[in-house]
Amino acid sequence: AQRVTQPEKLLSVFKGAPVELKCNYSYSGSPELFWYVQYSRQRLQLLLRHISRESIKGFTADLNKGETSFHLKKPFAQEEDSAMYYCAQPPSGVLIFGQGTELSVKP
C-alpha cells in the first residue's frame, strides 16, 4: 500500500530555532506532494504544494526524489507555528495523509 510516513509524532523547539518536519513517501510516480496544517480549533488547511515551489509563512519544502522525502523547513520558528502538520500525496488521485507531526514552539 502506498504510504506517507511522518516519523515524529511530536517536535518541540524554542522560538527562533530552526524547524524541520520530516516526510517520506512511498509512491515515486507522483510529483504531487502537499503539506497541510491544522491550528488549534481550526480546520485542516493547505500550507504549501510541491508543484508551486512556494514559501508560505516562511515554510519551504524540497522534494528529494533520491530519498523520497519532502521535508518541511523553517529557519526561525514562531510561537504561532504551533500546530499539527500533515504531509500528503495522491498516488491514485486521492490524497493519502501521513499520521501528522505536532509542532510545539515554546517561548
Sign of the dihedral defined by the CA atoms of residues 2, 43, 13, 51, in that order: positive
Q: Is 9 in the site for another protein (CB under 8 A)?
A: yes
State in angstroms the smallest separation of the CB of 15 from another protein: 26
State in angstroms the smallest separation of the CB of 24 from another protein: 14
Q: Is 32 in the site for another protein (CB under 8 A)?
A: yes
78-97: which residues touch another protein (CB under 8 A)? 86, 88, 90, 92-97
Backbone angles phi, psi at 103, to 5 degrees: -100, 125
- Using CB under 8 A, pick the residue from 16, 20, 26, 51 that binds another protein: 51
State in angstroms the smallest separation of the CB of 39 from another protein: 12
Q: Output the DSSP codes for 7-46.
A: --SEEEEETTS-EEE--EES-TT----EEEEE-TTS--EE
Q: Tell me the CA distances in angstroms from 79 to 9, 36, 67, 76, 86, one per residue in order.
A: 18, 18, 30, 10, 18
Q: Which is nearer to another protein, 40 or 94 (CB)?
A: 94
Q: Is 56 in the site for another protein (CB under 8 A)?
A: no
State in angstroms the smallest separation of the CB of 75 from another protein: 24
